[in-house]
Structure 1
Amino acid sequence: MTALAGVVFGLALAAPPGPMNAIIAEESVVSGWRAGFRAGLGAMVADVLFFVLTLAGVVTVIDRYQVVRPALYLAGGLLMLYFAVGAIRAARSAASFTGDGQRASKGFRKTFALSLTNPYQIGFWLTVGVGLLESGSLDVLSYVPAAGDGLAGLLVVQTGSPALLFGFFAGIGLWIVTYPATLVSIGRRVDRFAPAVSALSAVVLAGFGLVFFVVGVGQIG
């Protein structure tokens, strides 16, 4: 039961729309399942790295030095805007799904770099993430973006078990396997799916990039 709750928690955090899923989607419909999986793996590896660094106390530098957080917002925003330009180019060149792997995939590097400059992802590991191994309780569904308030209290589990952390990463792993596979399956049936997904990915990346950049500038001021 604890491991299953961890899986649900991992899926709940990995599935909502955002810049990581935008990159996974673009890579999947343009270069195939393996490219999409590698993009998802980049974000997952970053999570593992953050977990280890947080346990070691390294990530607390974000709270110790005030200049770090706005710098991360600015760097992350610029990266998202840069990747949005690439997604626009992919939307123009991808007439339909090919999945032949001819285009060199940079999805792993993209999501890994974005994760390293994502204050929200770092903040999660500074708070909730480390708490997964500490004795206490966790309201799993309350952390679902946009819908957490309505789901609060539906699935509360005891923390402090390695099984919960294992299930959490298993849930993320399940998402980065099935999400690209679903997109590829649809792309093989719908000719205009690849350019449409690439265009939507560009919009998502540009939107989040502008928000991050504005927040970073605001924190400097």
Structure 2
Amino acid sequence: MFSDLEIIGTGLKLGLVLAAMTGPIFFSLIQAGVESGLRAGVAVGAGVWVSDLLFVLATYFGFESLQSWVKWEAYGVALGVAGAIILLIFGGFTLLRAHRQKAGLSGVRLPSTYAALWLKGFLINTVNPFTFFFWITVMGVYVLAESWNPHQATLFFGTILTAIFLTDFAKVMLAKRIRPWLRDGHVLLIRRISGIVLVGFGLILLFRVLVLKA
């Protein structure tokens, strides 16, 4: 039997573990914060947070349906391929922008409106298979296994989401703080690293779902 304080502690630890992982979202947040400032980074983060919230609602109210999806063999492949394509697209455009910036060219680029940045964060998080399996595992291992009531489940998921929100905001704030100290070459390097990371994760994901699971 978990007390409310123990539930908060468990949720906090899971939220911090998830937030500490260095993946496509981390580099997207840093890139947006360094290149375009606090609001741009928050826009990317907001897309991630909305995606996580929808996953929480889906796993809580539709756990049985989601379990049937997981058992469907083609589901993991379809989600993995979709995720890989999204990562490759964003990574490719990021690298293309870096190349054109170095060459002093303009033109082909992803729009940097807040809506586009929000969509970037939302899509990268949503089509990441790890995100789906993280939330459905947390739901099964904690909420269902411990027979938590709605109050306990809300406290648990709320703590995880709050931890993610605060740590993502801290990452964006850090990017904003170091921005004045960076020269154009540093910003270009960050853009290249972000693009390489996105493409790299996309290729790894594609390899895992098409080769290792074949």
Give the whole-Å Cα distance in 1 for the aligned partners of 2:90 and 2:128: 15
Q: In 2, are the aligned partners of 1:54 and 1:60 still within 8 Å (CA)?
A: no
Q: In 2, are the aligned partners of 1:20 and 1:111 still within 8 Å (CA)?
A: yes
The alignment yields a C-alpha RMSD, in angstroms, of 2.5
Q: In 1, are the aligned partners of 2:56 and 2:157 still within 8 Å (CA)?
A: no
2:204 maps to a residue whose letter is V
Q: 1:155: which partner in 2?
A: none
Cα separation, partners in 2 of 1:197 and 1:86, compared to 1, 3 Å: same
1:215 to 197, 208, 211: 208
Residue 91 (1) aligns with residue 98 (2): yes
Q: In 1, are the aligned partners of 2:91 and 2:196 still within 8 Å (CA)?
A: yes
Give the whole-Å Cα distance in 1 for the aligned partners of 2:9 and 2:102: 39
Q: In 2, are the aligned partners of 1:91 and 1:195 still within 8 Å (CA)?
A: yes
Which of structure 1's runs of 4+ aligned residues deviate more than 4 A? none
Cα separation, partners in 2 of 1:40 and 1:193, compared to 1, 3 Å: same
Q: TM-score, normalised by structure 1?
A: 0.77
Residue 46 (1) aligns with residue 86 (2): no
Secondary structure of residue in 1 paired with 2:66: coil
Q: 1:146: which partner in 2?
A: none
1:165 maps to a residue whose letter is F
Q: In 1, are the aligned partners of 2:29 and 2:41 still within 8 Å (CA)?
A: yes
Q: 1:36: which partner in 2?
A: 41
Give the whole-Å Cα distance in 2 for the aligned partners of 1:34 and 1:8: 27
Residue 118 (1) aligns with residue 128 (2): yes
Q: In 2, are the aligned partners of 1:30 and 1:90 still within 8 Å (CA)?
A: no
Quote how far apart the aligned CAs of 1:15 are: 2.4
Structure 1 spans left out of the alignment, 5+ residues: 96-101, 137-159
Give the whole-Å Cα distance in 2 for the aligned partners of 1:18 and 1:94: 25
1:210 maps to a residue whose letter is L
Quote how far apart the aligned CAs of 1:16 are: 1.8
Q: 1:196: which partner in 2?
A: 189
- Greater helix share, 1 or 2? 2
Q: 2:199: which partner in 1?
A: 206
Secondary structure of residue in 1 paired with 2:54: helix
Cα separation, partners in 2 of 1:123 and 1:135, compared to 1, 3 Å: closer
1:188 maps to a residue whose letter is P
For 1:178-203, what per-residue CA distance to the aligned partner results, in whole angstroms no more than 9, with x for missing partners?
11110121111121332221111111
For 1:13-45, what per-residue CA distance to the aligned partner results, in whole angstroms no more than 9, with x for missing partners?
112210111221222122111111111121111
2:208 maps to a residue whose letter is V
Q: TM-score, normalised by structure 2?
A: 0.79
